[in-house]
Structure formats: C-alpha cells, structure tokens
C-alpha cells in the first residue's frame, strides 16, 4: 500500500509576493531555534530541551508548558518583525522614499525628544523582542531552579550567560541610541552608532555585541570584586588600574587615557555606583572630618542614606543595567544645563572608543592599496 503523500511544505514567508498571503504564511510557518536565538543561545535552548525530557513527569509537564509558552511568545514577535522589509531596502510609501540612508538622515536630524517618533515599526518590535528575550531566559532559570532534586548547575550558569548577553545587547542599543542625538560626539561616531542600530534592529535574532559585551562583563565583574573603600586617591588613574587589574585593559584605558577629568568622574560613578554629586559631597565631608578613608556605612550617612545603606554591588547584569540607567539620566541632565560632572556614562565613553577604533580600521582598509598578484 502506497504511503500517503506528505503535504507540500509551506513557502518561506518572504517568497510569497501577495502581502495578505505573506501574512498567512507567516502565521503558519514553522519556526526552529535558529529563528529565535543567537548562535550562542541555541546550544543553551537545546540543553534546556534535553534537561526537560529527563525530568519526572510532574516536573517535566510544568517546564514543558513554560518553555512552549516562551517559545510561542518569542515566535509571535519574530513573525511581526519579519513581516516588515529590511530597513536597508529601498522603497516608496506614498511620495516618500525609504531606505537605510533616509532612515539615517531622519535619525540624525531628530531632536532628543523626537527620536521615538522617528523609529520604524520594525525597530520598535526589535526592542520589544530584546526585552522579551531577557524575560524568557529569566523565567527558564526560575523554572530550572524549582527542580530542587534535579537541578543542573551547568545549565543554570548557561542560562545566566544567555540573560547577560540579552541584557548587554539591550544596554548597547540604549547607548547607540544616546549617541544619535548627542552633540558631544563627532558626526562619524553618530553615523557609526546608527549603522550599528540598523544592524541590530534588522537582525535582532542573530545579533550579538561580540566586542562590547565581553568588555562590559569583565569590567562589571571586576567592579564587584574591587574593595568599596572611599579614599583620597579617588580620581587618579593609578588607583583604577590597581582596582581593575584583572579587568580587560581596554575598559580602563578608554577612561583613563589623557587624564580627562570627566572620564575619570564617569569611572568613579561606575566604580562606586554613586552619582558625581554624591561623591563631591563625600569628599567635602571627609575633608571636614579630617579623614582620608571611609567605609560604605559612613558614606551612606554622609549622603543621607543611613537607614537604607548603599545599594549592594551585585554581580547581576540587570543590576548593571539599572545602575547604567540611573547614571545616564544624571549625565543627560548635566549636559542639558551645563552642570559640573560627567556628561556621559563610563559605558558610553568605552563604546564611543570602540566605535572610533572601528571607524579608523574601516578607513585604513579602504585606503590600503589593492594587493597585486593572483588571488
């Protein structure tokens, strides 16, 4: 007896010309892990699936349900993202032309408070996907930790690293976005930041900030290990090199080269997780009290946090993101009113240095004479 013919494979959505038919194809197209995760995340998702199958039935059912719900949510956002053309594609809408160049020009011309209205829908969906990815991996970590008798420490570490990558990518996106409207960075750095943003928005699923994330991870870990002692040597590059001796040297170099006072102030904010204004107050009180070194408890009292104490330094990417957001808001305020103190975060200075390095490398490659001989 002949086997029944298998149903024809659904066309890949981009191969369907009619927009309505393409939408239907998207809703029915099968999605694999490669459609939802970066190359670094796929092995973690596969490990999670294997681990789930090894659990007793009661635990397996709960984790399978949570995993399926998470996959489904991510897939729904990817469906929406892929229903839009590439941001670099040329096209028209009414009498307006659209392309990567017109998007760059629009973002360059937008003011600080108008950027949100200049973002294409694909960019908004991409940002949503980035946050959903963090939530997915966090939920999976909670679910694995709930399996008390069969916890897999290796899998938990791998999931934590996936959370890190997703959080750092979101942080990089915010930094790139802050450069777009900043008047304190050069035009070529602004354009490079927009190019990076378009790459991220267009290919969010597979995008990973391979250079910036490891650098930031190294600095954050070093910061959590460094002693939180407030002394008269704060503000000198030598102490930063000492405290961050086991950190990626590029992070420290980007903030200490040239002895730029605002860069060092931004580094202080990063190191102590306190705004510049609070650090100035601490120094003044230390001088009044004739002290050269004070501990966290006394610092908390100096700045009016005696009851709650200073926020603990936690080796958690979400804690870094929260710290970054707080410091960024204060830096933007200083820039807007020309107040003393750093006008950028430490992370902002470092990413700007990486972008300048990238621009220089690109220019040297373009200017290099073409090699002679056969290839």
Flag whether 349 is in a domain.
yes
SS3 readout for the chain: CCCCCCCCCCCCHHHCCCHHHHHHHHHHCCCCHHHCCCCCCHHHHHHHHHHHHCCCHHHHHHHHHHHHHHHHHHHHHHHHHHCCCCCCCCEEECCEEECHHHHHHHHHHCCCCCHHHHCCHHHHHHHHHHHHHHHHHHHHHHHHHCCHHHCCHHHHHHHHHHHHHHHHHHHHHHHHHHHHHCCCCCHHHHHHHHHHHHHHHHCHHHCCCCCHHHHHHHHHHHHHHCCCCEECCCCCHHHHHHHCCCCCHHHHHHHHHHHCHHHHHHHHHHHHCCCHHHHHHHHHHHHHHCCCEECHHHHHHHCCCCCCCCCCCCCCHHHHHHHHHHHHHHHHHHHHHCCCCCCCCHHHHHHHHHHHHHHHHHHHHHHCCCCCCCC
Pair 199, 250 in one domain:
no
Flag whether 367 is in a domain.
no
Pair 168, 283 in one domain:
no
Mean pLDDT for 232-237 is 50
Flag whether 365 is in a domain.
no
pLDDT for the residue 238: 53
Pair 193, 304 in one domain:
no
Bigger pLDDT: 54 vs 208: 54
Pair 339, 202 in one domain:
no
pLDDT of 235 over the 60 cut: no
pLDDT for the residue 313: 78
Pair 181, 47 in one domain:
yes
Pair 240, 331 in one domain:
yes
pLDDT of 374 over the 60 cut: no
Bigger pLDDT: 42 vs 310: 42
Pair 298, 335 in one domain:
yes
Flag whether 59 is in a domain.
yes
pLDDT of 370 over the 70 cut: no
Pair 116, 21 in one domain:
yes
Pair 158, 19 in one domain:
yes
Pair 77, 199 in one domain:
yes
pLDDT for the residue 346: 92
Range of the domain at 284: 212-354
pLDDT for the residue 371: 47
pLDDT for the residue 214: 82
pLDDT of 127 over the 60 cut: yes
Confidence category of residue 209, pLDDT binned at 50, 70, 90: low
Average pLDDT, the chain: 82
For the ranges 5-14, 258-267, 312-321, 346-355, the maximum mean pLDDT occurs at: 346-355
Confidence category of residue 25, pLDDT binned at 50, 70, 90: very low
Bigger pLDDT: 294 vs 342: 342
Percent share of the chain, pLDDT over 90: 39
Bigger pLDDT: 314 vs 127: 127
Q: How many domains are there within the chain?
A: 2
Confidence category of residue 272, pLDDT binned at 50, 70, 90: confident
Domain boundary among 206, 232, 257: 206
Domain boundary among 155, 176, 206: 206
Domain boundary among 171, 206, 241: 206
Pair 171, 303 in one domain:
no
Flag whether 177 is in a domain.
yes
Confidence category of residue 62, pLDDT binned at 50, 70, 90: confident
pLDDT of 314 over the 90 cut: no
Pair 153, 217 in one domain:
no
Bigger pLDDT: 112 vs 337: 337
């Amino acid at each position: 007896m002949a086997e029944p013919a298998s149903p024809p494979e659904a066309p890949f959505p981009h191969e369907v010309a009619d927009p309505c038919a393409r939408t239907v194809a998207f809703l029915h197209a099968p999605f694999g892990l490669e459609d939802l995760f970066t190359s670094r995340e796929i092995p973690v998702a596969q490990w999670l699936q294997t681990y789930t199958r090894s659990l007793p039935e009661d635990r397996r059912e709960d984790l399978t349900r949570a995993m399926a719900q998470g996959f489904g949510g991510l897939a729904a956002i990817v469906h929406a993202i892929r229903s839009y053309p590439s941001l670099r594609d040329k096209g028209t809408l009414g009498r307006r032309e659209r392309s990567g160049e017109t998007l760059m020009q629009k973002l360059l011309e937008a003011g600080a408070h108008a950027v949100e209205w200049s973002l294409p829908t694909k960019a908004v969906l991409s940002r949503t996907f980035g946050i959903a990815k963090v939530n997915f991996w966090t939920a999976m970590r909670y679910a694995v930790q709930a399996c008390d008798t069969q916890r897999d420490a290796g899998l938990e570490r791998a999931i934590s690293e996936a959370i890190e990558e997703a959080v750092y990518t979101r942080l990089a996106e915010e930094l790139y976005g802050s450069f777009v409207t900043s008047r304190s960075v050069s035009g070529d750095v602004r354009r490079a930041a927009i190019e990076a943003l378009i790459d991220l928005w267009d290919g969010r699923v597979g995008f990973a900030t391979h250079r910036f994330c490891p650098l930031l991870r190294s600095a954050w870990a070093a910061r959590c290990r460094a002693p939180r002692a407030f002394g008269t040597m704060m503000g000198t590059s030598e102490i930063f090199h000492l405290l961050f001796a086991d950190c990626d040297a590029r992070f420290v170099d980007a903030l200490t080269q040239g002895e730029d006072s605002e860069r060092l102030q931004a580094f202080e904010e990063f190191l102590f997780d306190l705004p510049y204004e609070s650090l100035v107050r601490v120094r003044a009180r230390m001088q009044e009290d004739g002290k050269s070194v004070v501990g966290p408890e006394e610092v908390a009292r100096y700045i009016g946090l005696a009851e709650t104490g200073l926020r603990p330094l936690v080796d958690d990417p979400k804690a870094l993101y929260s710290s970054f957001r707080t410091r960024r808001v204060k830096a933007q305020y200083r820039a807007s009113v020309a107040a003393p103190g750093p006008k950028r975060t430490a992370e902002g200075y470092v990413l700007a240095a990486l972008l300048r390095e990238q621009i220089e490398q690109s220019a040297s490659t373009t200017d290099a004479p073409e090699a002679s001989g056969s290839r």
